[in-house]
Amino acid sequence: MPDKTADLEKKTEEKAVMPSSTEVPLTLDAGPAPGKPRSLWSDAWHDLRRSPLFIVSALLILFLIVMAIWPSLFTDASPRDADLKNHFLQPPNWSHFFQADWFGYDPQGRSIYARVVHGARASIAVGVVVTLAVTVIGTIVGMIAGYFGGWVDSVLSRITDVFFGVPFIVGAMVILTTFEERAVWVVILALAFLGWTQIARVARGAVITIKQSDYVVAARALGASTSRIMFKHILPNAMAPIIVVATIALGGYIGAEATLSYLGIGLAEPTVSWGIDVASGKDQLRNAPYVLMIPSVMVAITVLSFLMFGDAVRNALDPKMR
């Protein structure tokens, strides 16, 4: 009897220690803790950090912005000081990096390098301010048309079509010729007055799609106001295509400013602009081509940088591109 009792106790202890066949250890069921789901913006940033196109364009844009804000970091020469006696069409001195004579001198004896550095401010300022203005105007018009629909959509869409039908450069030329002063704000006003149509169309299409979503219908059913629905629920989800169009268009506005200044209708002296320098250098193409080529290359690099940046943002934000 003692032996049987000891064996029974031993079997009971083993049964208590060993899990039954129907029990599964907790460690086998518990996999890795699921991470927090990423939003569209976090996914886009994750892709942008690994995109060579984005890195190169962002570095170029950062360099241009620093040059536009703090030109004294790159040169202490004045872009308006002229010396016809000593510097008339003096060729570039490639051995003197970041010096006044690095890119040579223009027909008025002014340093081309200093004018390139200081000219970035006007060109980039026009592009950035016009982009912000057309983004705000186009987003508001597109949101109102897409959200309310009906006759509101019809009226705003027809107004947009009228502005869209006006040739951009020709319309800007007509507006600029009505002003005697050709300052930076006049060029910004002319470009912004005609440039909001594309963003308005994109915003309208995005709002029409988003307003049918379940969360918008739920917010409307809960009694949310129109302004809250538009700016709290619809606008944040419609910003992705708007940002893509705006970043791509920014380079086009810089090129438009250079084109208008080249034609003698945009910015004028004493403003320092790449377009003005291209216009003044076209007569020296044969005997001093660097006077024309250097500011032209700067315009091309700037426009290309913003176009590359916009393409990288579009690839990151568009799910169809993944």
DSSP states along 220-269:
HHTT--HHHIIIIIIHHHHHHHHHHHHHHHHHHHHHHHHHHHHTTSS--T
More confident residue, 253 or 18: 253
Helix axis angle, 112-148 relative to 290-317, nearest 10°? 30
Residue 105: strand pairing partners: 111
**Segments making up each domain of the chain, as ranges:** 124-322
Burial label, 153 (beta-carbon count in 10 A; 0-12, 13-18, 19+): middle
- Residue 312, pLDDT > 90, answer no
Residue with tokens 């700067």: 298
In the structure, what pLDDT confidence band is assigned to residue 117 with cuts at 50, 70 and 90? Answer: very high
Q: pLDDT tens digit string along 268-310?
A: 888 888 988 888 888 887 888 888 899 999 999 999 999 899 8
pLDDT bracket for residue 322 (50, 70, 90): low
Q: For the segment 35-58, what is each residue's pLDDT rounded down to a tens digit?
A: 555 666 677 777 778 888 889 999
pLDDT exceeds cutoff 90 at 62: yes
Question: Do the Cβ atoms of 288 and 20 come closer than 8 Å?
Answer: no
Residue in 140, 265, 139 with CA at minimum distance from that of residue 191: 265
Mean pLDDT over residues 165-178, rounded? Answer: 88
pLDDT at 19: 45
| Model pTM score | 0.80
How much of the chain exceeds pLDDT 90, in percent?
Answer: 27
Q: Are 125 and 316 in contact (CB under 8 A)?
A: no
**Residue given tokens 């049964």 in the structure block:** 15
Q: What average pLDDT does the segment 158-166 reach?
A: 90
Contact 122, 184 (CB under 8 A): yes
Task: Name the more confident of 22 and 225.
Answer: 225
- Written out in words, the top-level CATH class of the domain with range 124-322 is mainly alpha
So what's the pLDDT on residue 156? 93
